[in-house]
Amino acid sequence: MTDRPVPVLLRHAAPYGEEPTDVLLADGVIVALGADAAAHPAAAGAQEIDATGRVLLPGLVDLHTHLREPGREDAETVGTGSAAAALGGYTAVFAMPNTDPVADTAGVVEQVFRLGQDIGLVDVLPIGAVTVGRKGERLAELGAMATSVAAVRVFSDDGDCVSDPMLMRRALEYVKAFDGVVAQHAQEPRLTVGAQMHEGAVSARLGLTGWPAVAEEAIIARDCLLTDHVDSRLHVCHLSTAGSVDVVAAAKARGTAVTAEVTPHHLVLTDELAVGYDPVFKVNPPLRTDADVAAVRAGLADGTIDIVATDHAPHAQQDKECEWDQASPGMLGLQTALSVVLETMVRTGLLDWRGVARVMSENPARIGRLAGHGRPVAVGEPANLTLVDPDATWVVRGSELASRSANTPFEGRELPGRVVATFLRGRPTVLDGQLVGADVGAGLGTRGE
């Protein structure tokens, strides 16, 4: 994969959905943009793609993906997850460390990083665990992960909260040395013992143990105060409640270096979906209420919430098709995220395409300190790009997704917007909505047991 990519000439592509123009990609960068791009010397022998009616965006960046390798390759691998990411329009994903073994050493993060490079469909950036084994007892070797070839900048015990305030303080202090960030899974464990779904009218009706909004909001508030105290940087994972939006807005107003993400599913789905007891709708944090959905959409529109992150959480069939209380929480997200954002934020007038680029590419790259991604569509910039047909619709079928698991909460749903092509450093990873030119391993296409 070190040979030079064939130049690509995109005809009549619309950067950010604005004026259509020609865009020439060569040697991994955007070399020309405009009516004279075809006449550029580097256009000789270029592959031409008719992009009429298509929106050109910077390649999407997911700050929160679960790739399950090492340890649960029956649910996902770096290969199948990379394929899902490329098909979803992503050029980079940050991989959560709740694997087996946990990504809490330089050795494991380097292994994941190299797997991603070998597959070559997206850049895979490992997230390092905050604590050894994610046990919440003592800090992992954050510095060794930061200085490894994986150059880790994001640290998280995701799946669990760093609930001990002293450990959280130490982590926030430690990551300052290399401009890192602690990404917190905000869940006060004492307030969520045995929790099965959002605590509210629906949980009362169903008789399921509730996960109250305050369990999230209390941790976010505490961590913002700790972040101020040690003058560090905090990222809030999968923010899900109206109250959390208020807490982050207040912290930002007084200058806290906090950023926050919302998942696509929290932008559209609610706790009412639990009534059928179908564990495909079980997720952590849980689906909330209509009022929360409205608040997180408004928070994303006004910048209180910085990014959309998928929290792509593949689970094997036996871990999802069982009793609700036994099921693993989590949902697929990589191949549906852009469509959900189009439906909930663009079609509603809350964001334009520049806004989509901001929350799905520019801001996540900036928060993760990832160079070369999240850059503007402009001459001289790396050709990490995604081309979207905004008028197409498609019906989601879990069995047809590239992920090795099928636990999409959008099964059978018609969604707007289709990723037509994705380019990683000028090389197509997806063309005509299909994967190109990569060996994602023997597992792709064989799912479940």
Stretch that binds ligand NCD, among 20-28, 326-334, 351-359, 421-429 (CB under 6 A): 326-334
User: Known binding site for substrate: residues?
Assistant: 66-68, 98, 284, 315, 329-330
Contact 168, 184 (CB under 8 A): yes
5 binds, options ligand NCD, Zn ion, none, Cβ within 5 to 8 A by partner type: none
SS3 272: helix
Q: Produce one character per residue of 69-96: b if its CB has 16 or more CB atoms within 10 Å, e if not.
A: bbebbbbbbbbbbbbbbbbbbbbbbbbb
Q: Which of 311, 325, 352, 432 is catalytic?
A: 311
Contact 417, 338 (CB under 8 A): yes
Active-site annotation holds for 311? yes
- The whole-angstrom separation of Cα 392 and Cα 382 is 27
Q: Which is nearer to ligand NCD, 311 or 343 (CB)?
A: 311
Residues 247-306 that bind ligand NCD (CB under 6 A): 283-284
Residues 33-72 that bind ligand NCD (CB under 6 A): 66
Stretch that binds ligand NCD, among 2-10, 126-134, 327-335, 345-353 (CB under 6 A): 327-335
Nearest to 94 by CA among 130, 124, 58: 124
98 binds, options Zn ion, ligand NCD, none, Cβ within 5 to 8 A by partner type: ligand NCD
DSSP assigned state of 100 = S
| Contact flags string 289-318 toward Zn ion, x per CB under 5 A | ----------------------x-------
User: Pick from 40, 54, 153, 185: which binds ligand NCD (CB under 6 A)?
Assistant: 185
CB of residue 355 vs ligand NCD: minimum separation in angstroms? 25
Two structure tokens written together for 367: 């928060």
CB of residue 96 vs Zn ion: minimum separation in angstroms? 5
286 binds, options ligand NCD, Zn ion, none, Cβ within 5 to 8 A by partner type: none
- The site for ligand NCD, by CB under 6 A, has a size of 12
173 Cα distance to chain centroid: 25
User: Pick from 116, 264, 330, 409: which binds ligand NCD (CB under 6 A)?
Assistant: 330
Q: What are 193-197's contacts with CB under 8 Å, separation 24+?
A: 195/286, 196/282, 196/286, 196/324, 196/325, 197/271, 197/274, 197/282, 197/286, 197/287
| Contact flags string 133-162 toward ligand NCD, x per CB under 6 A | -------------------------xx---
CB of residue 346 vs Zn ion: minimum separation in angstroms? 25
User: Pick from 20, 329, 382, 441: which binds ligand NCD (CB under 6 A)?
Assistant: 329
For 133, 142, 286, 335, 378, the CA distances from 79, given in Å and listed in that order, are 24, 26, 28, 14, 30
**170 sits near Zn ion (criterion: CB under 5 A):** no
330 binds, options Zn ion, ligand NCD, none, Cβ within 5 to 8 A by partner type: ligand NCD
Residues 72-101 that bind ligand NCD (CB under 6 A): 98
Nearest to 14 by CA among 358, 341, 420, 425: 420
C-alpha radius of gyration, the chain, whole number: 21
SS3 290: helix
User: Pick from 158, 199, 223, 319: which binds Zn ion (CB under 5 A)?
Assistant: 158
Q: Which three-class secondary structure string do you get for 353-392? A: HHHHHHHHHHHHHHHCCCCCCCCCCCCCCECCEEEEEEEE
φ and ψ at residue 420, rounded to 5 degrees: -90, -45
CB of residue 184 vs Zn ion: minimum separation in angstroms? 9
Q: Is the dihedral of CA 271, 62, 109, 402 positive or negative?
A: positive
Two structure tokens written together for 187: 């869940």
Give the pairing of strands 60-65 and 55-58: unpaired
Stretch that binds ligand NCD, among 77-85, 145-153, 288-296, 323-331 (CB under 6 A): 323-331
Contact 215, 263 (CB under 8 A): no
Q: Which is nearer to ligand NCD, 5 or 330 (CB)?
A: 330
Residues 177-206 that bind Zn ion (CB under 5 A): 185
CB of residue 375 vs ligand NCD: minimum separation in angstroms? 28
Q: Which is nearer to Zn ion, 43 or 109 (CB)?
A: 109
Angle at 115 between CA 113 and CA 118, to 5 degrees: 110
Q: Please list the active-site residues.
A: 311
Q: What residue ranges bind Zn ion (CB under 5 A)?
A: 158, 185, 311
Interaction site with ligand NCD (CB under 6 A): 66, 98, 158-159, 185, 283-284, 311, 313, 328-330
